[in-house]
Structure 1
Amino acid sequence: MTITKSYLNKVMHKRKSVRKYDANYKIPQAELKELLTEATTAPSSSNLQPWRFLVIQDATVKKELRQIANNQEQIETASAIIAVLGDTEMYKNVEEIYTKNFEQGYMDEATKNSMIENSLKLYPNLPKEILKNIATFDAGLISMQIMLLAKDMGYDTVTMGGFNKEAFAKHFELADHLVPIVLIAIGKAAVPAYGSSRLALKDIVKFI
């Protein structure tokens, strides 16, 4: 059996990192909301969904952000910048999350109570660095979904980890428990993206 060239497969291969955008194109906010709603179907550790977003569309704010983000052109020319943040206090939503799971029939009450109890025993006692690592891992999962969904909607993206995270947190007055992880530029490509090669499977995989 071979992998069928499905629609998802085609979207995956069409998605490329784009750094040149049509600065005049503006994505409607309603579409950005739809995109992020769909992206939140991504998996996360204990389903605690530690991702938070700051969506930057204002031209003046993007100009300010460009100075924090190594003067990258796409910060200003993309229709929006989606800043993916990690919440290291994600466990504070555990009761809401598992109560909703129970109410929607995804688990019984005993499982709900057990998950809440175990999560509140574990997560608040973890070092902040571990909580940050968890949030960063989960942010990677939802960031990929954002980019694939964006391509499916006819938009292009590029992720940026090269920015001053301390300066970002200070500029946007983030609470201590919110950690900037990655920026995603989204908009309409002005020029085609470059292609990129991949390492051979034999060099990166070992079957045992």
Structure 2
Amino acid sequence: MTTSVSTKSLTELINERHSVRKYDANYKIPKEEINDIVKEATKAPSSSNLQPWRFIVIEDQEVKKELRTIANNQEQVETASAVIAVIGDKEMYKSVEKVYRSAFEAGYLDEASMSRLIENTNKTYPFASEEILKNIASFDAGLVSMQLMLIAKDRGYDTVPMGGFSKEQFAKKFDLPERFFPVVLIAIGKAAAPAHHTTRLPLDDVLIDYI
């Protein structure tokens, strides 16, 4: 059985979402619901709609125990219902035919536009530096990650994003091909204790100017 979606506004969800590090280790989110959350999260925008994100969902307790050692012994890795690893794809342009043909078949593009977009992508992305491609994938992975956490909150779950882990050890452990690289780990589950609330810098400190 899946958890029903709340009727809270986006503003309420943003204000209520906090990074939770204490989880009920006995609570398990159904696989179907995690699939739904990930699928909905992928509605996030991405550069040229190339969607340079992939996901590994880690539920097995023994694997989570191993992952905890890779993730600086962070308790939530082992106690959360699952850990969703968000993976970046440096060769996102290899999906271009599938992406734009799908849009064409859905009636969102005419054939000429589809062909032009595919051609333009193939003229640019494959010739970009690895650094640029990695930056694009990392930025887009951040967008899908935030969306995923808000969707999870809307369904009554708690999350915490974790960047503090060995990217090299993770890639080796999960045998990632060269084109893929780990960006962030997201623990998801039911809180066993309230999150520590935080403050934010005042608007005057972050809003530089109106021009």
TM-score range, shorter chain: over 0.9
Aligned partner of 2:181 in structure 1 is: 179
1:78-115 CA-to-partner distances (Å, cap 9, x unmatched) read: 00000000011111110111011111111111111110
| Structure-2 separation of matches of 1:157 and 1:68 | 19
- Equivalent positions of 1:70-85 (< 5 A) are 70-85=72-87
SS across alignment from 1:145:
helix
Residue identity in the other structure for 1:207: Y
Aligned partner of 2:210 in structure 1 is: 207
Residue identity in the other structure for 2:210: F
Length, aligned pairs only: 203
- The offset of 1:190, in angstroms, is 0.2
Q: Which runs of 4+ in 1 moved over 6 A?
A: none
1:186-207 CA-to-partner distances (Å, cap 9, x unmatched) read: 0000011111111111111111
Q: Could you tell me which of 146, 162, 172 is aligned with 1:170? A: 172
Per the normalisation by structure 2, the TM-score is: 0.95
1:129-185 CA-to-partner distances (Å, cap 9, x unmatched) read: 111110000000000000000000000000000000001001111000001000000
Q: Could you tell me which of 138, 141, 149 is aligned with 2:140? A: 138
Aligned partner of 2:5 in structure 1 is: none
Aligned partner of 1:105 in structure 2 is: 107
In structure 1, runs of 5+ residues without a counterpart are 1-5
Aligned partner of 2:40 in structure 1 is: 38
Per the normalisation by structure 1, the TM-score is: 0.96
Q: Percent identity?
A: 64
Q: Could you tell me which of 148, 151, 154 is aligned with 1:149? A: 151
Cα RMSD (Å) of the superposition? 0.8
Aligned partner of 2:50 in structure 1 is: 48
Residue identity in the other structure for 2:80: A
Residue identity in the other structure for 1:78: A
| Structure-2 separation of matches of 1:67 and 1:8 | 35
